[in-house]
């Protein structure tokens, strides 16, 4: 098993020292850098390519949110924000941080954050492996569809190859996703909804809220409620809330059909 590469960025030397002292003394992790400003953190992440970064929210140069925003999606490690202020929590999860740890913290809380980050890293690697398998099979001709419209996922210790038209909808579930299939089977790979969304592509699938992705031809109705919002009714009877922020995107998708 390869080591988890960890980078720490905090403008307070004592805070960096304490965090490093509380991390497990384990052969499975490697500290690849520690930095005292946001600009240094961006440079360090690009150069050192850590799996996980513990990132202070407020630093000179640029703050933690700007560090994440300054990185391309493929450059971003699993991010754990470490800060004395809880007011940034919503913003932190808005950029898909895996955890948000308030100072002062103890060893147990830090280890919990590290476990969550490690699970995220492993899920992403599993997704990448599935994508590589899809690509290899497509290039070898083993997937005999015009556009190789299959998704490879690892669930219950096995790789499952799903045709796109077998997938009805996908929902996020903590560190997993639940893939609902047309046969009624539910698969729970350790993956992220964003990774699945990227691999399925925008031709047949669209995000309908923060936690759900649907195959558009499985939508039967858009149903209004008393608050002026809508729910999506799928052909199998499942109802899913439609996010206001995504309503325009979804309606445009239907119009384009």
CATH number where 172 lies: 2.40.50.1020
195 CB neighbour count, 10 Å cutoff: 19
Task: Tell me: do 115 and 47 sit in the same domain.
Answer: yes
Query: For residue 74, what pLDDT is reported?
Result: 77
Q: Do residues 108 and 183 both lie within one domain?
A: no
Which of 69, 89, 123 lies at the terminal end of a domain, its last residue?
A: 123
Domain co-membership, 173 together with 115: no
pLDDT at 252: 56
- Do residues 157 and 86 share a domain? no
Name residue 9's beta-bridge partners: 35, 55
Kind and range of the H or E element at 251? helix 244-256
> Which residue has tokens 């039967």?
220
For the whole model, what pTM was predicted? 0.51
Q: Using alpha carbons only, give the angle 60, 63, 66 rounded to the nearest 5 degrees.
A: 130
Flag whether 164 is in a domain.
yes
- Tell me: do 99 and 174 sit in the same domain: no
Confidence of residue 89 (pLDDT cuts 50, 70, 90): low
Q: What is the mean pLDDT of residues 55-62?
A: 83
Q: Does residue 174 lie in a domain region?
A: yes
3-state secondary structure 54-105: EEECCCCCCCHHHHHHCCCHHHCCEEEEEECCCCCHHHHHHCCCCEEEECCC
90 assigned to some structural domain: yes
CB 137 within 8 A of CB 148: yes
pLDDT per position as a tens digit, 175-219: 789 999 999 999 998 888 888 888 888 888 988 898 999 998 898
Q: Of 121, 123, 122, 92, which is closest to residue 191 (Cα–Cα)?
A: 123
The range of the structural domain enclosing residue 175 comes to 149-256
Same domain, 66 and 10: yes
Question: Residue 140 domain-assigned?
Answer: no
Q: How far apart are CA 145 and CA 171, in angstroms?
A: 26
111 and 154, same domain (yes or no): no
The rounded distance, in Å, linking the Cα atoms of 216 and 224 is 18
Segment among 30-34, 110-114, 136-140, 144-148 with least mean pLDDT: 144-148
Flag whether 132 is in a domain: no
Residue 130 lies in a domain: no
Report how many domains make up the chain.
2
Residues 156 and 114 in one domain: no
Query: Is residue 139 one of the residues assigned to a domain?
Result: no
Task: Give the mean model confidence (pLDDT) for residues 93-114.
Answer: 80
Residue 51, domain CATH: 3.40.50.2300
Whether the CA torsion 33, 38, 44, 46 is positive or negative: it is: positive
Helix H or strand E encompassing 29: strand 29-35
């Amino acid at each position: 098993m390869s080591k988890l590469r960890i980078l720490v960025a905090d403008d307070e030397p004592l805070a960096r020292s304490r965090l490093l002292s509380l991390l497990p003394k384990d052969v499975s992790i490697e500290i690849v850098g520690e930095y005292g400003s946001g600009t240094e953190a961006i440079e360090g992440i690009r150069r050192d390519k850590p799996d996980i970064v513990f990132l202070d929210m407020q630093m000179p140069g640029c703050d933690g949110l700007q560090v994440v925003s300054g990185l391309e999606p493929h450059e971003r490690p699993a991010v754990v924000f470490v800060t004395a202020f809880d007011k940034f929590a919503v913003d932190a999860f808005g950029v898909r941080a895996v955890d948000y740890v308030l100072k002062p913290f103890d060893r147990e809380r830090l280890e919990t954050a590290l476990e969550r980050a490690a699970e995220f890293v492993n899920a992403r690697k599993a997704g990448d492996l599935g994508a590589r398998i899809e690509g290899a099979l497509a290039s070898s001709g083993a997937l005999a569809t015009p556009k190789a419209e299959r998704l490879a996922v690892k669930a219950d210790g096995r790789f499952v190859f799903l045709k796109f038209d077998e997938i009805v909808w996908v929902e996020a579930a903590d560190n997993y996703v639940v893939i609902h299939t047309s046969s009624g089977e539910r698969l729970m790979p350790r993956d992220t909804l964003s990774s699945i969304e990227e691999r399925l592509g925008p031709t047949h699938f669209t995000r309908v809220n923060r936690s759900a992705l649907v195959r558009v031809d499985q939508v039967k109705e858009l149903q209004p409620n008393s608050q002026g919002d809508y729910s999506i009714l799928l052909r199998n009877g499942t109802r899913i809330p439609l996010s206001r922020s995504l309503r325009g995107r979804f309606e445009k998708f239907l119009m384009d059909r």
